[in-house]
Amino acid sequence: MPAPTLDPQALARLRELDPDGRHGVLERVLQTFEASLARMLGQLAAQRAQADARAVRDIAHTLKSSSASVGALALSQLCAEVERQLRDGSTEPAGGELERLLAEGQTALAAVTAMLHRPDPSR
């Protein structure tokens, strides 16, 4: 069975911030991440087309921590690898990492969107 797209332990940590769900912390965090991820995936694709390695590195850096915080761990790891390669002087990530990052970003986006559209996203 494949690993879940969003890590249940990371989601549990977010739920602990608002145990009874009255403040909608999980939903607000997921909504913010959803909007940010959608925007940044578009920016990544545009910067890749323009061959702007620094902009790609900066976007990967930003996505790395936000992805980890909502449990999109595979996306966070790919962001870290792309960031590392570009920080170390590569002009383009090796081995198709950027394409995998974009694909994993779409997978994470779909998972977050599905979670937000469930009857109760705090579950």
Read off the pLDDT of residues 102-122 as tens digits, 9 standing for 90 and up.
999 999 999 999 999 887 655
> In degrees rounded to 5, what are phi and psi of residue 2?
-70, 155
> In degrees rounded to 5, what are phi and psi of residue 91?
-90, -10
Range of the domain at 40: 8-116
Question: Residue 22: inside a domain, yes or no?
Answer: yes
DSSP 117: T
What pTM was computed for the model? Answer: 0.88
Distances (CA, A) of 88 to 5, 31, 63, 64: 29, 33, 18, 17
Question: Residue 1: inside a domain, yes or no?
Answer: no
Question: Residue 108: inside a domain, yes or no?
Answer: yes
Question: Residue 3: inside a domain, yes or no?
Answer: no
User: What is the number of domains present in the chain?
Assistant: 1
Q: Between 122 and 44, whose confidence is greater? A: 44
Say how many Å lie between the first and final Cα of the chain, rounded: 21
Query: Residue 104 sits in a domain of what CATH number?
Result: 1.20.120.160
Question: Residue 122: inside a domain, yes or no?
Answer: no
